[in-house]
Amino acid sequence: MRNPFFAGVLALALAVGAQAAVSDTAAAGGQAVAEEAAVRKAIEQSIGWAVEKDFAAMFRLWGDDLFHFWLFSDSQVIGLENFKKFAEQWRDPDFRGTRFEFRDLRIRFSRSGDVAWYSCFLDDCGSYKGKENCLQNVFQTGVLEKRDGRWVHVLMHGSYPVDKVPEKYVRHFYRGLFQEGEKK
Amino acid sequence: MSCGAAGLVLLAALLASGSAAIAPTPASAPDRKAERVEITRVINSVIGWAKEKDLALFYGSIANDEDYVSVTPGKRVIKRFEDVKQNVPFWMSPDFQYVRHELKQLEITFARCGEVAWFFCVLDDINTYKGEPACWENARWTGVVEKRDGRWTVVQQHFSFAGE
């Protein structure tokens, strides 16, 4: 380049651009970590709210159009208003959450970054009239969407493995599982 | 403004306009009805591929990556696409025969971005193994689909049976 002025301007611009790119990457990385932490907290509080029993805080964790399948056949709930009715059972003063643990929690984000889905195993313990009872190894999956700056659950599905599958089918399909269990 | 400063401002403006030009433009308003039809087709294919034992149809319906998750009513959680292949010999065996399947009460909800959707339904998946019934009746099925490279793909799904 013959003109030293333009060469200098170009070099400066490239340096500024490179620094901006590094800053953007770092900022994006920090943002991703922050979003994952926010999603994780929303997932955990969807169960953990029961320790403090803050219903208003719990309802803010759900989208208006939520869908909910839990362990039992009466646990299908569609929509926040129906969920509020469903939640009435937890207002019993003899009930309170005691502890919970999410294991193997795996969160994935959509390419757009504003939807997250997850899978995990859950232990969920509560007490009724002072006696603790736990649901253990519930397999839980779900979807959250970032709406108006908040991550809210729009789908949650919890289940236990194998219950009504015909045994013959299970034994064949999951042969390895049974052989492994029988060896033990 | 000196010539040097003016040059920098001009260059910065050019760089800014260039980056704006290459930034992705928002998709036009999606044809939700058509998208819903296509998602329904993809969800159906996750089960219906077994009719013709069209593995390509099945593989084309689910995410072929390390993030794919599929939960079935057994103690089996598939956590990546490669693990799906462990079940293929069973499905492709002549002993396993598809009979029919039905998605009941299927509801699909789109994310605001339009590129992700989630669904729930109740599934009857009727098959035989060595002539004996091998069925999931009234299985609860939820899942997530994402539009990737123009195609809707199941990225996570969960089948279960409700306890009484």
Query: How confident is the model at residue B31, as a pLDDT?
Result: 87
Q: What is the pLDDT of residue A165?
A: 46
Pick the CATH number of A4-183 from 3.40.1030.10, 3.10.450.50, 3.90.25.10, 3.40.1260.10: 3.10.450.50
Indicate left, alpha or beta for B147 from its phi (over 0: left) and psi (-120 to 50: alpha). Answer: beta
Listed by start position, the domains of chain A span: 4-183
Q: Do A163 and B158 touch (CB under 8 A)?
A: no
pLDDT in tens, B96-142: 999 999 999 999 999 999 999 999 999 999 999 999 988 899 999 99
Q: Which residues pair with A134 in a beta bridge?
A: A125
Q: Is B8 within the bounds of a domain?
A: no
Residues of A in contact with B111 (CB under 8 A): 110, 112, 114-115, 145
Span A22-51, mean pLDDT? Answer: 87
* Residue of A62, A68, A104, A115 to mutate, testing the B interface (most B Cβ within 10 Å of its Cβ): A115
Rounded Cα distance between A99 and B46, Å, is 37
Token pair 């994952």 is at which residue? A36
Dihedral sign for Cα atoms in the order B90, B93, B94, B100: positive
pLDDT for the residue A111: 94
Considering the domain boundaries, does residue B22 fall inside one? no
Under a CB-based contact definition with an 8 Å cutoff, are residues A64 and A50 in contact? no
Q: Which of A44-48, A72-76, A132-136 bottoms out in mean pLDDT, i.e. has the lowest?
A: A72-76
Q: Does any CB of chain A come closer than 8 Å to the CB of residue B107?
A: yes
* Mean pLDDT, range A30-43, rounded to an integer: 94
Q: Say what the pLDDT of residue A48 is.
A: 96
Q: In chain A, at which residue ranges do the beta strands (DSSP E only) sit?
A: 62-69, 77-78, 95-109, 115-128, 131-147, 150-159
**Tens digit of pLDDT for each residue in A137-164?**
899 999 999 999 999 999 999 998 764 4
Q: Which residue in B8, B134, B136 is closest to A9 by CB distance?
A: B8
Dig out the tokens for A44 from the structure: 């955990």
Write the residue in B3, B75, B142 that is nearest to A155 by C-beta. Answer: B142
| Res A58 pLDDT > 80 | yes
* pLDDT confidence of residue A179: 53
Q: Can you read off the two tokens belonging to residue B14?
A: 């050019």
Give CA–CA dist A77/A13, Å, rounded.
57
Contact A43, A34 (CB under 8 A): no
What are B44's two structure tokens? 């159906």
B98 vs B45: CA distance, rounded Å:
13
What one-character-per-residue DSSP string does B74-104 give? SS-EE-SHHHHGGGHHHHHSTTEEEEEEEEE
Q: Distance (Å) from the C-alpha of residue B75 to the closest C-alpha of chain A?
A: 5
CB B126 within 8 A of CB B100: yes
Residue B84 lies in a domain: yes
Amino acid of residue A112: S
Nearest to A87 by CA among A41, A138, A141, A47: A47
With tokens 């593989």, the residue in question is: B59
**Which residue segment(s) compose the domain that B127 sits in?**
31-160
d(CA A12, CA A86) in angstroms, rounded, equals 62
What CATH number did the domain enclosing B91 receive? 3.10.450.50
Cross-chain residue pair A155–B120, CB shorter than 8 Å: yes
Split into its structural domains, chain B has a count of 1
The rounded distance, in Å, linking the Cα atoms of B163 and A87 is 19
B13 in a structural domain: no
Chain A CB contacts of B7 under 8 Å are 5-6, 9
Residue A12 CA to residue A6 CA, distance in Å, equals: 10
Is B120 an 8 Å CB contact of chain A?
yes
Query: In chain B, positions 66-105, which contact chain A (CB-CB < 8 Å)?
Result: 67, 69, 71, 73-77, 79, 87, 90
Distant-in-sequence, close-in-space partners of B70: CB < 8 Å, separation ≥ 6: B62, B77, B78, B84, B156, B157, B158, B159
B155/A contact by beta carbon, under 8 A? yes
- Cβ-based burial of B61 (10 A; exposed 0-12, middle 13-18, buried ≥19): buried
